Amino acid sequence: MLKAIGMSKIKSAITGAAPIQREMLEFYRDLGLTIMEVYGQSEDNGPTTFNTQSCNKLGSAGPPFPGVELKIAEDGEILVRSPHVFVGYLKVPIPL
């Protein structure tokens, strides 16, 4: 079926930037294409969490990369600590 929709050569598929509907993930999985979700933000200089072929839970953004600490604040904010999180924006003083 993937050949019929021009996707027969895809080795792996990744989605990010916004949540994808579970039904879409299931649709493509049923066609034989597993789509892995990733979470990241510019302040993290790339991905923070990542699903893999061997660890892919539909509807999740996967486990954190090694060395990444995650915590959900009481207000729902995602808190990230890692060496790859940048310290601030250019020419904006860092509050002490």
Count: domains in the chain: 1
pLDDT at res. 20: 87
Domain assignment present for residue 16? The answer is yes
Domain span including residue 43 = 3-81
pLDDT at res. 23: 93
Domain assignment present for residue 49? The answer is yes
pLDDT at res. 85: 87
Domain assignment present for residue 21? The answer is yes
Domain assignment present for residue 42? The answer is yes
Domain assignment present for residue 62? The answer is yes
pLDDT at res. 75: 97
Low-confidence ranges of the chain (pLDDT < 70): 96
pLDDT at res. 11: 82
Domain assignment present for residue 56? The answer is yes
Beta bridge partners of 37: 15
Domain assignment present for residue 44? The answer is yes
Beta bridge partners of 46: 41
pLDDT at res. 88: 80
Q: pTM for the whole thing?
A: 0.69
